[in-house]
Amino acid sequence: MKVLVVEDDAETARYVSRGLRELGHGVDVAADGRDGLYLAIEGGHDLLIVDRMLPGVDGLTLVKTLRAAGRRMPVLFLTTLGGIDDRVEGLEAGGDDYLVKPFAFVELVARVQALARRPPLRDTPTSLQVADLEMNLIKRSVSRRGQPIELQPREFRLLEYLMRHAGEVVTRTMLLEQVWDFHFDPKTSVVETHISRLRMKIDRDFDAPLIHTVRGAGYSLHAPE
């Protein structure tokens, strides 16, 4: 399971992350609310452990923002705010469980495992559509105007990411991280090469292109204006 710990107390963050890693979980740590929110939106985590009193963006606002954005991963609040009103406020903000500091690690693990056993709450769309371009995520198929388009696995993943962010500017760094799992610049033209291939397959035989280069920024896939 991939867990994100959003905790500004370095000792607590180390304690929790080390323990979860020893149990075989992948753990990312954010020391403030802004970084936590960014990672929670982009990181594909299965569960979040969130402190309430965070610099930048507080824990309640972080979770409310995630829920408003449609992110349904379980959230466990881990906080010193242990009053009844505090607990109610946390759960009403979108938290799924609430654990007050100081805490026993064994109880934290039990709560994490209980949340992990719940049926998935996140939205799981089975298809994506931008204008006349359609992607079936179950059948792993793509078509435009009803015409099937054959894609290689990496091309499919690249197009899926672009379609999930339709109308947004997607940078080269974002594509390297999210499509190739590169967290460094490999100094190759791998992104440009795949974008070019994708254009040939998606746009070449149609009047209106969907994949656009945003000069100096990256790429954007969107419907014709």
Q: Does the pLDDT at position 123 exceed 70?
A: no
CATH of domain 127-221: 1.10.10.10
pLDDT band (50, 70, 90) for residue 184: confident
For the chain, percent of residues with pLDDT exceeding 70: 96
Q: Tens digit of pLDDT for each residue in 126-171?
A: 788 999 999 987 678 999 999 999 999 889 989 999 998 999 999 9
Q: Does the pLDDT at position 121 exceed 60?
A: no
Q: What is the 3-state secondary structure (H, E, C) of the chain?
A: CEEEEECCCHHHHHHHHHHHHHCCCEEEEECCHHHHHHHHHHCCCCEEEECCCCCCCCHHHHHHHHHHCCCCCCEEEEECCCCHHHHHHHHHCCCCEEEECCCCHHHHHHHHHHHHHCCCCCCCCCEEEECCEEEECCCCEEEECCEEECCCHHHHHHHHHHHHCCCCCECHHHHHHHCCCCCCCCCCCHHHHHHHHHHHHHCCCCCCCCEEEECCCEEEECCCC
> What are the residue ranges spanned by the domains of the chain?
2-116, 127-221
pLDDT of 42: 82
The arrangement of secondary structure in 2-116, i.e. its CATH architecture, is 3-Layer(aba) Sandwich (3.40)
